[in-house]
Chains A and B, each alone.
Chain A
Amino acid sequence: MRAWFQRRRKGASRADADAFALRLVAPALLIEFLFVFVPLAVGLYYSLHSVRFFQVGRFLGFDNYLSVLTSPAVLNSFAVTAVFSFGSLILTFVVGFALALHLERDGRVAVFMRAVVLVPYVISMLVGSLLLKWVLSQDSGVPQTVLGPLGIADFSVFADSASSMAALIYNAVWRDAAFAMILLLAGLKSIPLELYAAARVDGASPWYRFRRLTLPLLKTPMLITLVRLLMHFVNSLTFQLILTGGGPVNKTETVALRTFRLGFEDYALGRANALSFVVFLINVCMIVLLVKLFKPTEKLR
Chain B
Amino acid sequence: MSYVRVIRLRKIGDFALNTVIVLFALAPLLWGLSSSLKPANRILQVPPELIPSEVTFAHYATLIENQLFHYMANSAIVSAATVALCLAVGAFAGYALSRFAFPGRNLVMLTVVTVMSIPIASLLVPTYTLIANLGLLDTRTGLVLLYTAYELPIVIWIMFGYFNTIPRQLENAAMIDGYSRFDALRRVILPLAGPGLIASGLFVLTAAWNDFVVAVVMTSAEAVRPLPVAVYFYLGFFGREWGPLLAASMVSIAPIILIFVIFQKYFVSGVTGGSVKG
The interface bits of chain B over 86-124 (1 if a CB of A lies within 8 angstroms of the residue's CB, else 0) are 000110110111011011110010010001011111111
In the assembled complex, A59 has its CB within 8 A of some CB on chain B: no
Query: With an 8 A cutoff between CB atoms, is B21 at the interface?
Result: yes
Partner of B102, one of A17, A124, A280: A17
Indicate whether B58 reaches chain A with its CB closer than 8 angstroms: no
Contacts of B167 in A (CB 8 A): none
Known A141-B45, A144-B46; contact A131-B22, beta-carbon cutoff 8 A: no
Query: Distance in Å from the Cβ of A296 to the closest Cβ of chain B?
Result: 19
> Taking A134-B35, A139-B242 as contacts, is the C-beta distance between A36 and B149 under 8 angstroms?
yes
Partner of B100 from the list A18, A127, A131, A179 (CB cut-off 8 Å) is A18
Check A31 against B152 for contact (C-beta < 8 Å).
Answer: yes
Q: Given A131-B249, A276-B126, A124 and B210 touching (CB < 8 A)?
A: yes
Q: Which residues of A contact B150 (CB under 8 A)?
A: 35-36
Determine the residue in chain A with the shortest Cβ distance to B231.
A126
A44 to B149, CA, bound (A): 20
In the bound complex, residues from chain A placing their C-beta under 8 Å from that of B271 are 179, 182-183
How many A-B residue contacts, CB cutoff 8 Å?
274
Tell whether A293 is near chain B: CB-to-CB under 8 Å.
Answer: no
In the assembly, what is the distance between CA of A25 and CA of B105, in Å?
Answer: 9
Chain A nearest CB from B149 CB (Å) reads: 4
**Chain A: CB-nearest residue to B186:** A2
Q: Are A182 and B276 in contact (CB under 8 A)?
A: yes
Interface assignment of A284: CB less than 8 Å from any CB of chain B: yes
Secondary structure of the A contact surface, majority rule: helix
A185 to B25, CA, bound (A): 18
Using CB atoms, name the residue of chain A closest to B31.
Answer: A135
Contact between A24 and B95, CB atoms less than 8 A apart? yes
Any chain A CB within 8 A of the CB of B252? yes
Q: How far is the CA of A222 from the CA of B120 in the complex (A)?
A: 22
Closest to A56 in B: B129
Find residues 250-266 in chain B having any chain A CB closer than 8 Å to their own CB.
252-253, 256-257, 260-261, 264
B45 touches A115 (CB 8 A): no
Which chain B residue has the least Cβ–Cβ distance from A109?
B18
Interface residues on A, range: 35 or more
- With A9-B180, A35-B149, A284-B118 as contacts: A122 and B28 at CB distance below 8 Å: no
Give every chain A residue within 8 A of B128 (Cβ-Cβ).
Answer: 263-264
| Chain A residues with CB under 8 A of B149 | 31-32, 34-36
A6 contacts the other chain (CB 8 A): yes
CB pair B206 A131 closer than 8 Å: no
Residue of B nearest to A186 (CB): B276
Q: Residues 265-286 of chain A: 1 if any B CB is under 8 Å from the residue's CB, otherwise 0? A: 0000100110110011001100
Main secondary structure of the interface of B (DSSP, over half): helix
Q: Are A6 and B242 in contact (CB under 8 A)?
A: no
Residues 28-46 of chain B, each 1 if its beta carbon lies under 8 Å from chain A, else 0? 1101100100000001111
Whether A43 and B252, one on each chain, are in contact in the complex, defined by CB atoms closer than 8 angstroms, is no
Q: Is B192 an interface residue (CB 8 A)?
A: no
Contacting pair B48 A235 (CB below 8 A): no
| Residue A20 interfacial (CB < 8 Å) | yes
Contacts of B124 in A (CB 8 A): 237, 259-260, 263, 276
Complex-state Cα separation, A131 to B35, whole angstroms:
11
Q: Which residues of A contact B92 (CB under 8 A)?
A: 24-25, 27-28
A130-B245, A131-B31 known; A28+B127 contact, CB < 8 A: no
Tell me the nearest residue of chain B to A269, going by C-beta: B129
Taking a contact as CB atoms under 8 Å apart, the answer to whether B111 and A32 are in contact is: yes
CB neighbours (8 Å) of A263 from chain B are 124-125, 128
Please provide the 8 A-B residue pairs with the shortest distance between their CB atoms, ordered closest to farther. Answer: A43-B126, A235-B121, A124-B210, A35-B149, A21-B100, A24-B96, A28-B93, A141-B46
Q: List 29 A-B contacts (CB under 8 A).
A: A10-B180, A21-B96, A21-B99, A22-B104, A31-B148, A32-B153, A34-B145, A36-B123, A39-B127, A116-B25, A117-B21, A122-B256, A122-B267, A124-B209, A124-B212, A125-B210, A126-B232, A134-B28, A139-B44, A139-B240, A174-B25, A182-B271, A182-B276, A183-B271, A186-B275, A256-B122, A259-B124, A259-B125, A283-B122
Known: A114-B268, A130-B235, A134-B35; 9 extra A-B contacts, CB below 8 A, are A18-B103, A25-B93, A46-B129, A113-B18, A115-B264, A126-B212, A231-B117, A235-B119, A238-B213
